[in-house]
Structures are given as C-alpha cells and as structure tokens.
A and B are shown apart, each in its own frame.
Chain A
Amino acid sequence: MSNQTSQPGSPAAVVFPRRYALLCALLSGFVLVGFGAVLHKAFSLQVLEHEFWLGKARLQSETTFRIPVYRGSVLDRNGRLLATSVHQFSVFVDPSKVPDKPGLARKLSPIIELPAASIEAQTKNRQGFTWLKRGISDQQRNLIERLQLEGVQLSPEYQRFYPFGSLAGQLLGFTNVDGKGLEGIEKLYDTVLDKEPIDCSQLRDGARRRISLHDQGSDDTDQAGGITLSLDAVLQAIAERELGAAVAAQGARAAEAVILDPRTMEVLALANWPPFDPNRYQAAASEDWRNRAITDLFEPGSTFKVFLYAAAIDQGTVRETDRFFCENGVYRLARNTIHDVHPHGWLTVPEMLMVSSNVGAAKLATKLGAGKFYQYIQAFGFGQKSGIGLTGEAQGLVRPWNEWRPIDLAVTGFGQSIGITALQLSSAVATIARGGVWQRPTILRRALRDSDQAEIRRAIQPARRVLKASTAALLTKWLIKATGEGGTGQPAVPAGYQVAGKTGTAQIVDPNTGTYSGKRYNAVFTGFVPAADPRLVITVVVHEPSKSIFGGTVAGPVFRNIAAEALPYLGVAPDRDDPNEKRSPTRWASLDPGAGPNNRQ
C-alpha cells in the first residue's frame, strides 16, 4: 500500500517516502560499485596483466613454426645445376605404437628397399622415435601413405642432390644429412649456401587451419640463393673422360687434370681419377673424396725446367744463342750422377729445353744460383697455397735455398726434391701464357644473392709481374719448339692448333728405401693452347702408369684430346695455316651431306 497522498484541487505533488529514497540510493550504489568493479577488472586485464593474457591468447590461437630454407644451389659458369636441395620425406617409426612388427617390416621392406629383418630389428628393441630411412622418393612416400601403417610417420626434410653424379665430385664435396657442408665447395662456402631457418607465426582456427592475418615477414624458403662457379661442366666431363681412358689404357693408379683460362685465371675444370659420386659419399672410401689436384704433392720432373729457363732468361744469365755441353747424357756432380734419356753433346739453350736435357738443366741451375732460382720459384707461387681457398689444399714442398747443397740446386732444375700440386703447376704455366703476370686462380664467379657478393670480392687479389713480357714471349717460342718436330711434347699437339708445353717424367721416391724408384713414375704434361693467343692452360698428371712412363706418351695424348675437343667447344677455330697439318684436297668433302661417315657431326 502506498503512502502517497494528494490534495484535491492542487497540482499533483509526488512525495517519495524516505524508504523509497534509500532503496534508490542503495541500488544506485550497487550499480556504481558494479560498474567500478567491471572497470577495475577491465583495467587489470587490459593494462596491468596485458602481457600475460596476450600470451595466453596467442598460445590458443597462434602457432609458431620454423621453416627450413633451401640450401643454396651450386651452378657451373653456364648455369648448369651442379648441386641442389629438394624437399624429400624421411620415414620414422614409433615402435610402441606398432601392433604387428613383423607385418610392418614385411610391408615396408620392398618399398624402402631395406631388408625386412633390419626393419624388424629396428622396431623390436627400441622404444620411441626411430628413423627407418631418410630421403625417400615421392613414389615411396605415396606408397607408404597409401598403406596407412600404424606407428609409421613421414617427416619432410631437405636432401642434397648432385645431378651430374661423379662429375667434379671431389671439387663439390658433400653435406651431411642435416645439410652442413663437410667437404669441398660445400664446406668452403657453407656460410653462403646455408641459411638459418625462418621463424614464422600464424593464427590457427579451431580446426588448426592456418590463417595469414598479419605481415609475417618473408617466408621465402628459396632465399638462400647459391653460387656460380667458374667451372664448365662440359670441359670437366671431357677432362674426366680422357683421364679415365688414359688410366685404363696405361694401367695407372690415379690421374688428375686442371684446365685454366689464362685470361681470367678461372678454373674451368679440376678433374680427378678415380671419380667420386657425392650422392653416395657414405659408400665411398675417404681416399676417394680427396681432390688430388690440390692436395697431392708430386715432383714435377722436367716440367719444372720451364721455370728454371724462365728465371735464367729473365735474369740475363743466358742468351738464346748460348751453348752448353750436355756430357753425352752422363754428368757427375760430387758423388751423384745425372742422366739424360738420350745422350747429347753441345746444345743451345732452346735445344736443351726442346730435348729436355737433365744435364743441361743441372748446369743452367748451377749457373743461375740457388738464391735467384729460389726467388723465382717463390714468385711463380710454388711452396705456398695457390690462394684458391679450397679446403685441404697443400702448400707444396720447397726447402729454403740456403739449405740446398749443389746437388739439390742441380736436381731442382729438372724438378726433383720439390713437391708441387697440379694447380700450382697450372698457375705457374699460366703466368707465362699471360705474358709474365701471376694471378691467383679462382673457382668462384659470383653469388646469386647480392648480399653475398662482398664475401666473394674480398678473395680477389691484384696480379703481380714475375717475368718480363719479352722473357715470357721468348719462353713461349721455345715451348712451341718443345712440342714441335723432335720435341718431347709432340704427342700433345691437337690437329689445327699450336701448343706451347712441356713434358715431365718424374721418378717417385720409394717410401721403403727413401730413394727414387726405378719402376714408379709420374707422367706429366703442362702447357697452353693456342700458343699465340692462349685460351686454355691444361695440366695433366698420370700417377704410376704401368705401360709407358713418359710424360709425352702418357700425359701428352690426354692434353691433346682435351684440347682438341675443348677448343672447338669454346669457339676457338683451328689454325688454317697449321704447320702440323697438310691441307688435303678433300678438306671440305665431309661437309657435303652423305659424303662420309662423319657427315652427321
């Protein structure tokens, strides 16, 4: 019942009783307190505990994952793929979730090409995660997915492939299963090729589907780029094929070949035999991984005379017309005897080089003197790493000149008591081809990513002059004679091209006796072609041939075959006025279709 009263005839006056007013005030107070509490809680959640609750929300709705970046590819100078990474799957098993282990092994065995017993053994004795096979093919993956085997799962990984197989295998090296470079180029440029995985966060809905709502930054997994080498895969293939043929024909132990472009000092091929396939590095002996062209030292034999003669001419020790008595092939120096393959009497300096007289070289070295000879040996880059930067490169073996006895000086003149690599020999010969200027050889052309270029450019060093240009020109003339009529290097000359080069037949020191073996030799040929305008410097070393031992007959033909195929490939036309070849009246006959067996070439 209301206590409200009104006087008749007066305006309606509302009088709130005290109780009603109190109730209203109380309700208002509750509402205000309620609002205050809500505001306080909101402030607490949004401002004071913001980070905590934001983290909780992210945990529920956002997912963070790491995307591995493709390891950079390695290309040859013409963009051919030498090494690349692709996404492959690996298969693993959780043995605790496998109900029928023998059945699983039976089903998986033919797919992943592992013995069933091996798979069963892996699942039987282990608990938890066990890899069954890493890097399976897409077909294998599809087959496994179709089987829907309990406890068997697939995990995506990147796998490294070398599409040309064993081509330049030792040079390229390889990576481990985790994509880290272990040998060769892969190891040397690991920092350029290998990039950190990208951390990426995305929202996920209740069904765990990803939603890209924010700018996550780049997740381009191809960003690692890669590198381009100076190597030419075609020249590398030619060199490896010819080395293999020579090793088979001569019954040799091993061989290596280096091809350089003397204009740029870029390495075009670095071939080793026996070959090595980095795709199957675990199956190969560690000895086969070795890049012999830069790691193995050998005595260069008579090829080293080139540098003795260069030093002697450059120093003015001898002139072209000077003559030396070559002792009819037998020269006694203290208690040692130096022999020539063929006896010679008086010879001019170029004749001594042409017939490769050891006696003449010994006398010339003695006349030049140890100090000066050593100075040139160093200037040509012997006794130090070439600077190409490849891992495992040997610096060579050159003893300080003040430790040389007279016999040491004499034998160093024809390439004994000194250890060099095939790459060092090539660089030194390239110095003559370049008119007397030495420059460090390079294997890397550029990085595919601009940001990696700086690292590469640091490697380039200025060239240095070793010989006068006139000395280099005179020496080139003599080296052409050495491959001409009567020269030891005649078998190295391809038809249509003039070669400046030198043979070497070096005895190998028997480790058991410490003396030179009478049966084991290294056959060497080094030179450049075409002699007038050098495009290629080629060095061929054949270790321990068993049929013939001479550099001219063993390594020379390898040089010839490589040059004969490489020069036309590079667009270097044969010399029309080639003194080695007589013009035939049927010269162009084979260009006529159907004119001969080679008309399809």
Chain B
Amino acid sequence: MITNPGSRAKATTAAATWQVALWVLAVSGFILALTFVWMQTQQIRGGYRLSQAQSEYHQQLNLKRKLDLTWAQLTAPQRLTQLARAQFQLAPPKPEQILTVGEAVD
C-alpha cells in the first residue's frame, strides 16, 4: 500500500489539534466551574456583610435619632432662656442696646 507522508503528517497534526482543543476546553470548563463556585461563595459572603451593614445602619440611624432628640431637649428655648437668665444673668436687649450694622453711633 502506498502512503503519502504529507497526508499522514496532516492527520497527525489534526489529531494533535483536536487533543489540544479538548484540553483547552476541559481546562476552561474547570476554570469556569471554579470561578462560578468562587463567585457563589463571594455572593454569600457579600450577603452576610450586607445584612450586617444593614443591621448596623439601622442601629446607627436609631442612635442618630436619639442624639437628635437629646440635642433638641438640651437646646429647648425654655431651657436656654432659663439658663441664660439664671446662670449668666442675661436678658433681652433694650431698644437702646440694639445697633444696626453700619449705623453711626451718636
């Protein structure tokens, strides 16, 4: 039987190409699978972190509201007036004590 060395080489090359392609496919599939698993893990971890962050947000929000409330209580007009009068002997200004900016003083 007469064989053509060129066609045999071609066949060998084609077989090798197929083998490489299969390997690439297999490795890619493996990498994709690993990536998918990694992403799933990250998503779960992110989910925990997000839940934690939401919980902290609500706690901080409530704390801020409580601080706002305390601030309002401390700066209540009646309280400030009482403090000003009792502790610092302050009183509302008399008309002659009010100066408009830019106004010449007699």
In the complex, the answer to whether B94 meets A495 with C-beta atoms within 8 Å is: yes
Across-interface contacts of A564 in B (CB, < 8 A): 92
Given A241-B81, A495-B95, A600-B90, CB of A213 within 8 Å of CB of B47: yes
Q: Which of B63-106 contact A (CB under 8 A)?
A: 65-66, 68-69, 71-73, 75-78, 81, 88-100, 105-106
How far is B82's CA from A240's CA once the two chains are assembled, in angstroms?
14
Instruction: State which of A86, A236, A240, A573 has its C-beta within 8 Å of the C-beta of B65.
Output: A86
Inter-subunit contact A496/B69 (CB<8 Å): no
Say yes or no: B81 contacts A588, CB within 8 Å: no
B34-84 contacts to A (CB < 8 Å): 43-44, 47-48, 50-51, 54-55, 58, 61-62, 65-66, 68-69, 71-73, 75-78, 81
Q: Closest residue to B51 on the A side, CB-wise?
A: A210
Residue A568 at the chain B interface, CB threshold 8 Å: yes
A85 touches B65 (CB 8 A): yes
In the complex, the answer to whether B69 meets A161 with C-beta atoms within 8 Å is yes
> Of residues A163, A202, A495, A565, which shows the largest number of chain B Cβ atoms within 10 Å of its Cβ?
A163
Q: Which label, helix, strand, loop or mixed, suits the secondary structure of the B interface? A: helix
Give Cα A568–Cα B58 distance, bound, in whole angstroms. 42
Give which listed residue, B61, B77, B91, contacts A167 with CB less than 8 A: B77
Which residue of the partner chain, among A167, A233, A496, contacts B95 with CB atoms under 8 Å?
Answer: A496
Q: Which residue of B lies closest to A75 (CB)?
A: B72
Chain B residues positioned under 8 Å from A494 (CB to CB): 95
Asked if A4 CB lies within 8 Å of chain B CBs, one says no
Q: Is the CB of A86 within 8 A of B72?
A: no
Q: Contact mask A86-100 → B, CB, 8 Å, 1/0? A: 110000000000000
A211 touches B47 (CB 8 A): yes
Given A568-B98, A591-B99, A598-B97: A165 and B78 interface contact (C-beta under 8 Å): yes
Tell me whether A317 is interfacial, beta carbon within 8 Å: no
Name A251-278 residues within 8 Å CB distance of B. Answer: none
Contact (Cβ within 8 A) B51 A211: yes
A380 CB-CB contact with B under 8 Å: no
Are A86 and B66 interface neighbours, CB within 8 A?
yes
- Chain B residue numbers with a CB within 8 Å of A587 are 96, 106
A167 touches B78 (CB 8 A): yes
Q: Are B106 and A163 in contact (CB under 8 A)?
A: no
- Given A163-B76, A209-B51, A584-B96, the answer on whether A86 and B88 have CB atoms closer than 8 Å is no
A-B contact pairs, 8 of them (CB 8 A): A81-B68, A86-B69, A163-B76, A496-B95, A573-B98, A578-B95, A590-B94, A590-B96
| A interface residues (Cβ-Cβ under 8 A, vs B) | 70, 80-81, 84-87, 138, 161, 163-165, 167, 202-203, 209-213, 219, 221-222, 233-234, 236-238, 240-241, 494-497, 564-565, 568, 573-574, 578, 581, 583-584, 587-588, 590-591, 597-598, 600-601
B residues within 8 Å of A by Cβ? Answer: 43-44, 47-48, 50-51, 54-55, 58, 61-62, 65-66, 68-69, 71-73, 75-78, 81, 88-100, 105-106
Q: Which 7 A-B pairs have the closest CB atoms?
A: A496-B95, A163-B72, A237-B77, A574-B95, A211-B47, A212-B50, A81-B72
